[in-house]
Amino acid sequence: MLGALAGAGTTAAWLHPDRTTPPTVAGQPDPARVAELERAEAERNAQSLEALATFGVGLQDELAPVLEGLHGAHPSDGSTRRTPTGEDVDEWRASLEELAVEADALPSGGTEHNMVRSGFVLTLELLGSSVDLVEQALSAEPASDETLFRLAGAARDHAVDAFGSAAMQLDNLYVTADKGHLHLVLRAGEGGVPLDDPHGHPGH
């Protein structure tokens, strides 16, 4: 009887708004655990953002000579083609392969962070396809080399678009994190005109 009364008293104390708060109900999230997970996610995203920014800045610089060569192989402005050599192609491919390894090693983050990472990976894959097509064009018959150079140019342009989308998302993440703007743009050669600028104006 006394045990029953004691149990009833405890239950009453839990139900009374001015008394002890009941323990966490089974199946309900633990607020402390939720806060811990949120802090861990925020830290992971912060690390991912910095890694993406560092890689993106380096990527735009490392790709400049590759894009300069690919632009020369199939100029988008109608200028005369500068046919690359086999050594040029080998250098471009080696550079892209090294960058691809770095991109694969980028830490994972939230959905938006992973979109940036995927955009950088896609950029490198498309440029790799462009380089492969240029290589094929160099050994192709005159009747088909122009088509291959044109396809190489299209793959290059798609790569520039992929980078532009990733760079825009990265800039948004930077602003959201109160870090200001981070403008990344691909150029055909050091100091060249931004390839994703439809008006051909120098970037800032």
Question: How many Å separate Cα 130 from the centre of its chain?
Answer: 20
Residue 77: predicted pLDDT: 82
Residue 34: predicted pLDDT: 67
138/125 Cα distance (integer angstroms) = 20
Count of CA atoms in the C-beta half-sphere (13 A) of 60:
23
pTM of the prediction? 0.78
Residue 3: predicted pLDDT: 47
**Mean pLDDT in runs of 10 for the chain (204 residues)?**
46 47 62 72 86 96 95 89 96 98 94 96 98 96 92 96 96 94 87 55 39
Q: In the chain, where are the structural domains located?
A: 36-177
CB 128 within 8 A of CB 102: no
Residue 190: predicted pLDDT: 67
